[in-house]
Amino acid sequence: MRIPILKLGKYLLVSIQWELDDQTALQFQEDLLQMIHQTNAGGVVIDITSIDFIDSFIAKVLGDVIEMSKLMGAKVVITGIQPPVAITLLELGIRLDDVMTAIDLENGLDKLQQELGE
Amino acid sequence: MRIPILKLGKYLLVSIQWELDDQTALQFQEDLLQMIHQTNAGGVVIDITSIDFIDSFIAKVLGDVIEMSKLMGAKVVITGIQPPVAITLLELGIRLDDVMTAIDLENGLDKLQQELGE
Residue B118's CB is within 10 A of a number of other CB atoms, namely 10
Name the residue range of residue B87's domain: 5-115
How many alpha carbons lie under 13 Å from residue B99 in its C-beta half-sphere? 23
Residue B90 pLDDT: 86
Residue A14: in which H helix or E strand, if any?
strand A11-15
Separation in Å, CA of A4 to nearest CA in chain B:
6
Which value does ipTM take for this structure? 0.81
CB-nearest to B106 from A9, A15, A104 is: A9
Residue A91 pLDDT: 87
Distance (Å, rounded) from C-alpha B72 to C-alpha B69? 5
SS3 label, residue A82: coil
With an 8 Å Cβ cutoff, are A7 and B104 in contact? yes
Q: Which residues of A touch B13 (CB under 8 A)?
A: 6, 8, 13
Separation in Å, CA of B106 to nearest CA in chain A:
5
With an 8 Å Cβ cutoff, are B8 and A105 in contact? yes
Tens-digit pLDDT profile for residues A47-57: 999 899 898 89
Mean pLDDT (10-residue bins), chain A, 118 residues: 90 91 94 96 94 90 91 94 91 79 94 86
CB-nearest to B105 from A6, A18, A105 is: A6
Q: Which residues of A touch B5 (CB under 8 A)?
A: 15, 17
CB-nearest to A105 from B6, B47, B105 is: B6
With an 8 Å Cβ cutoff, are B106 and A15 in contact? no
Separation in Å, CA of A3 to nearest CA in chain B:
8
Residue B97 confidence (pLDDT) above 80: no
With an 8 Å Cβ cutoff, are A1 and B1 in contact? yes
Tens-digit pLDDT profile for residues B41-88: 999 999 999 899 898 899 889 889 999 999 999 999 999 999 999 998
pTM score, two decimals?
0.87
Task: Supply the DSSP symbol for B104.
Answer: S
CATH number of the domain where residue A108 is located: 3.30.750.24
Q: How many domains does chain B have?
A: 1
Distance (Å, rounded) from C-alpha A30 to C-alpha B1? 20
Residue B116 pLDDT: 86
